Amino acid sequence: MKKILVIAPHPDDETLGCGGALLKHKAQGDEIHWLIVTGISESAGFTAERVAERDAEILTVGNLYGFETLHKLNFPTAQLDTLPIGDIVQRIGRVINAVQPDVVYVPYPGDVHTDHKAVFDAAVSCTKWFRYPSVKRILAYETLSETDFGINPDNNGFRPNVFTDISEFLEHKMEIMRIFKSELGAFPFPRSEQAILALASLRGAACGAHAAEAFMLLKEIG
């Protein structure tokens, strides 16, 4: 049994990026844990109804995955690059110390959303072997509308070298993604059901599966 921690800048990033892999981990008897770095609030301009709706979405999604623990840091969304990186590192580090994960999933640093880059930078600071010895494997996931929209010419782009067959978990992943109904749109919107299924098929074709998720292996200690 392994302990798996997915670090999501926002709720739904974990589902888009590695929802199938998380369900597969769970089916194999692993413990899965969810860390959400940002949150919404009325003080940030969101309505009370929207805040309550988001809280309900997170609760429902957490139950559908069967997460062992849920950690919400509630940093302001779309503002992580304005905060001291040390504050984010400290809070993520506390969660890693509490969970003691073997495997950590992180967002890809080349994503167009600055929150993703900030979360990546803070998360990898919390994987040094001499401070967080439990971490043996780190994988970066791709997020539709963020990873594929990163057009920085100095970035080499998302180049996956690990693939996970999620064929038997794809429909469950889609069921969970539908909970985040406000994040979905009609194709060709990148976070549409058609686009999510198309990416799963494309990654599956790269590894000989009907559906897959792709990752960049950043570190592995054998």
CATH code of residue 162: 3.40.50.10320
pTM over 0.85: yes
Whether the per-residue pLDDT at 95 is higher than 80: the answer is yes
pLDDT-wise least confident of 154-158, 178-182, 210-214? 154-158
**pLDDT score at 15:** 98
Strands 31-39 and 69-76, sheet pairing: parallel
| Contact predicate 103/139, CB 8 Å | yes
What does the alpha-carbon distance between residue 138 and residue 4 come to, in Å, rounded to a whole number? Answer: 10
Could you tell me the pLDDT band of residue 67, with boundaries at 50, 70 and 90?
Answer: very high
**pLDDT score at 156:** 83
Q: 217: part of which helix (H) or strand (E)?
A: strand 212-220
Whether the per-residue pLDDT at 154 is higher than 80: the answer is no
Q: Identify any residues that bridge with 163 across adjacent strands, giving them in sequence order.
A: 214
**pLDDT score at 152:** 82
Radius of gyration of the chain (CA): 16
Note the pLDDT tens digit of each residue in 29-64.
Answer: 999 999 999 999 998 889 999 999 999 999 999 999
Task: Please report, as a single letter, which amino acid is at residue 189.
Answer: F
Q: State the average pLDDT over residues 164-189.
A: 97
Percent of the chain with pLDDT over 70: 100
Could you tell me the pLDDT band of residue 71, with boundaries at 50, 70 and 90?
Answer: very high
Max CA separation in the chain (angstroms): 48
pLDDT-wise least confident of 24-38, 80-94, 138-152, 164-178? 138-152
Q: Which structural domain range is residue 204 located in? A: 3-220
Mean pLDDT rounded to a whole number for the chain: 96
The Cβ of residue 171 has, within 10 Å, a number of other Cβ atoms equal to 13
Q: State the average pLDDT over residues 134-159.
A: 91
Q: State the average pLDDT over residues 184-200.
A: 96
Angstrom CA distances, 96 to 41, 142, 168, stand at 25, 22, 30
Total count of domains within the chain? 1
Exposed / middle / buried, residue 45 (Cβ in 10 Å: 0-12, 13-18, 19+): exposed
